[in-house]
Amino acid sequence: MSGLPILDLVVGMIFIYFLLSIVCSSAVEIILSANKIRARVLEKWLRTIFPNQITINGQTRSLGTAIMDHCLTTALSKKGRSTSYIDAKNFTSALLEKISYDPSKPLNIPAKIQDFVEAIEKSDLLPQELKRVFLMYANEATETFNATKDKMKSDIDLFRGKIENWFDTSMDRVGGFFKAHYLRPWTIVVAALAVMLLNADSISIARYLYSNPEARVQLADQAVANVQDSSLQHYLDNLERSIAFTHNDTAQATLEKIQTNIAARERDIQTAKQSLEDVIPIGWNTSSWHNTTGSAGSFLLKLLGLVLSVFAIMMGAPFWFDTLNKISNLRGTGPKPSTTATDGGK
């Protein structure tokens, strides 16, 4: 207990928002994983950036599809389908292998950067704009290599590094597209459903905690204890990494990994829901329903409380965890001891 009821109330409300955010984030993760949305977005990017056709062993397909099906990038995904994540190094190797492939000399491997330059210049697999970019990367790598005294990396390694950086930067933009077109809309839908089903009305919850000191202190103490839980930080790190398309985890494309991920998220939902039910009354009952529909004013107040909860959830679990961490530290300091006449006012 902090000795400041209003601080306990704030900590409790933030903790509730954090738990609700975990519920929604976990539910959204289940939906996106089950529908392989990340794989679809990455697949769309590959086919858009590399649309030119390549023929190998009598099969004609786009270069983007060939990269998806390459042994370095595919896991157990179906042919012509992307995995959820592709490592930048593996992507670069698959891309350069396809560009430098010579049907007349199938085992011929470029040994110098000039070999890659010639292969890129002759290739009709890359759009003209991208071909020029890769040639600039090759020239920059050569100049950097020649100007470096301590040659820790070869010019080919420098060239590959530039392509890898280009891929990582592109994946950042793809992650932004994924977040704007899939993650945020689904979060809004799931947050609205969760708030409605749980009757998570911010105004009613705040009133309940304000008028029930025991529940308020219990919730605040639970919040402080959870801030120190390292497993929560690990969960939030995974949550942040889940929207990054540069994370390498090709095994995640397998059905077993997806099922394990869904099961873990279901446990997160149950744990968070149980934590809420242990301290505050959530859900609908006859009394809460009559209070809501009793008058237009009470209905609008209930609607406002639900909308506030949805907006709070949209801030995300990482935001509320960081906020909770900062305020919990403030709560732990306690009130400043009062001075007395016996200590001379020191």
Whether pLDDT at 239 is above 50: yes
Q: What is the mean pLDDT of residues 112-131?
A: 92
Q: Which range (2-11, 79-88, 117-126) has the least confidence? A: 2-11
pLDDT at 222: 82
95 contact partners, CB below 8 Å, separation of at least 6: 67, 163
Whether pLDDT at 345 is above 60: no
- Cα distances from 185 to residues 28, 189, 190, 216, 299, in angstroms, run 10, 6, 9, 33, 26
What distance in Å separates the CA atoms of residue 278 and residue 275, rounded to the nearest whole number?
5
195 pLDDT band (50/70/90 cuts)? very high
336 pLDDT band (50/70/90 cuts)? very low
Most confident of 15-29, 158-172, 246-260, 282-296: 158-172
pLDDT at 71: 87
DSSP 180: I
What distance in Å separates the CA atoms of residue 90 and residue 191, rounded to the nearest whole number?
37
Q: Which range (1-10, 53-62, 256-265, 275-284) has the least confidence? A: 256-265
Q: What is the mean pLDDT of residues 293-310?
A: 88
Most confident of 45-59, 120-134, 225-239, 322-336: 120-134
Q: What is the mean pLDDT of residues 168-186?
A: 92
- Cα distances from 153 to residues 111, 119, 129, 219, in angstroms, run 15, 22, 27, 55
What distance in Å separates the CA atoms of residue 170 and residue 165, rounded to the nearest whole number?
8
150 pLDDT band (50/70/90 cuts)? confident
pLDDT at 29: 84
What distance in Å separates the CA atoms of residue 135 and residue 121, rounded to the nearest whole number?
8
Q: What is the mean pLDDT of residues 157-170?
A: 94
Q: Which residue has the higher pLDDT, 240 or 162?
A: 162
Q: Which range (71-75, 227-231, 322-326) has the least confidence? A: 227-231
Whether pLDDT at 166 is above 60: yes
What is the rounded (10 degree) CA torsion for 331, 333, 22, 320? 80
- Cα distances from 120 to residues 72, 107, 114, 220, 316, in angstroms, run 20, 18, 10, 62, 44
Q: Is 311 helix (H, G, I), strand (E, B) or coil?
A: helix
244 pLDDT band (50/70/90 cuts)? low
43-79, pLDDT tens digit by residue?
Answer: 999 999 999 998 877 788 899 999 998 888 886 667 8
